[in-house]
Every structure is written in structure tokens, then in C-alpha cells.
Amino acid sequence: MAESNRLCDCQKQVDEVKCLKRLDAVIKDYREKPGALIPVLQIAQGLFGYLPEVALKRISLGLDKSYSEVAGVVGFYSFFSTVPRGRNLVRVCLGTACYVRGGKQVLEAIKKHLGIDVGQTTPDKLFSLEVARCFGACGLAPAITVNDDVHQRVKSAKVHEIINSYRKVSRVKAATHKRAKS
């Protein structure tokens, strides 16, 4: 999945030039292929972590499509984001099975715990919250994902335990990162 092989961590100083260079190579590969726009956007989002305007402009020029067409496609699909996301992406499934098994209560509990609404990112940039429509983990409802980990049969009274486990990991990572730098 694009998310998992993202090359630039958005928490770091994004090496935009490097990413754009890679993007150019991708555009070159896809240029002749019919229906290239969506795969290119998917790869670009994997590179940057989101879709910054500069990348969209590059894609528009490279694939010879008007910027409005590119922006139109980006706006249509829910997987594309034009704003940076937090380090951890929490997605609460509200597919039917999760919904009838209490997914809504789980979402409320997470919102309350993180203090943000759906589509927002915490001020410390650690967590973004989104709603998903079914991961196909219906047998394990209600489910949430944090990054690529699926958490199953989540109880709303216990969401803080899940979230906090990522908070810890993120802190440890940030600390080691700092140490490595200094």
C-alpha cells in the first residue's frame, strides 16, 4: 500500500526537491499509459504523505492535463488528502457490521480522547482521525486501524489504551531520532 512505503516522513524536514525528482521519474514512466492520473496521484501521495499543490502542478504539467481536472479528481476520491496528516492515522470503521456492533460509540470515545473531530489532526501532530467504510474485517467488529495495524473488537471504554500505546511508541521514536541527530 502506498501509505506504508512512504519515503519521506512528514515529521522530518521534507526533502521536497528529492520527492519532486522521484515524482518526475514516475510521471515519465506513466506518461504514455492510458488512465495514468490516478495511479500517479497514489504514488505521489505515498511520496509526500499527502498531495501538496506543488506536486499537483507538476503532475498536471507532466501528464498534460489541466490543473482543474487534476484537482477535480483529487477532490472526488476520499483517499486523497491535500493537507498533511499526523504521524499516526487512526481510522474508525463505520461499515455496517462495525456500526451495529458499536462503532459509533468507539468513534465518540476516540474523538473525546483525542479532542479532535473527524478529518482533524491533534495539535502535537501525533494523531489524525478519519472514518472508514469497511476494512473487510466485519467478523471482528467493531474495528479500527492505526496506521497499518488492525485493532479488532474495540471497546469504547478501552480506546485510550490503544491510542496511548502509539503515543508511547511515537515518543520513543522521536527521542531516539533526536539523539541520533545530536
Binding residues for another protein, rule: CB under 8 A, are: 1-4, 34-39, 41-42, 69, 72-73, 76-80, 94-102, 105, 132-141, 143, 148, 150-152, 155-158
CB-wise, 67 or 77, nearer to another protein?
77
Q: What's the min distance (Å) between Cβ of 19 and another protein?
A: 20
3-state helix, strand, coil in the chain (%, to 5): 50, 10, 40
CB-wise, 8 or 134, nearer to another protein?
134
Contact indicator for 106, 87 with CB cutoff of 8 Å: no
- Side chain identity at residue 76, one-letter code: F
For residue 154 the three cell numbers come to 474495540
Q: What's the min distance (Å) between Cβ of 144 and another protein?
A: 11
Q: What's the min distance (Å) between Cβ of 95 and another protein?
A: 3
- Side chain identity at residue 40, one-letter code: V
CB-wise, 17 or 76, nearer to another protein?
76
**Those residues with Cβ within 8 angstroms of residue 49's Cβ, 6 or more apart along the chain or in another chain:** 6, 8, 9, 10, 14, 84, 85
CB-wise, 50 or 80, nearer to another protein?
80
Beta bridge partners of 127: 88
Q: What's the min distance (Å) between Cβ of 35 and another protein?
A: 4
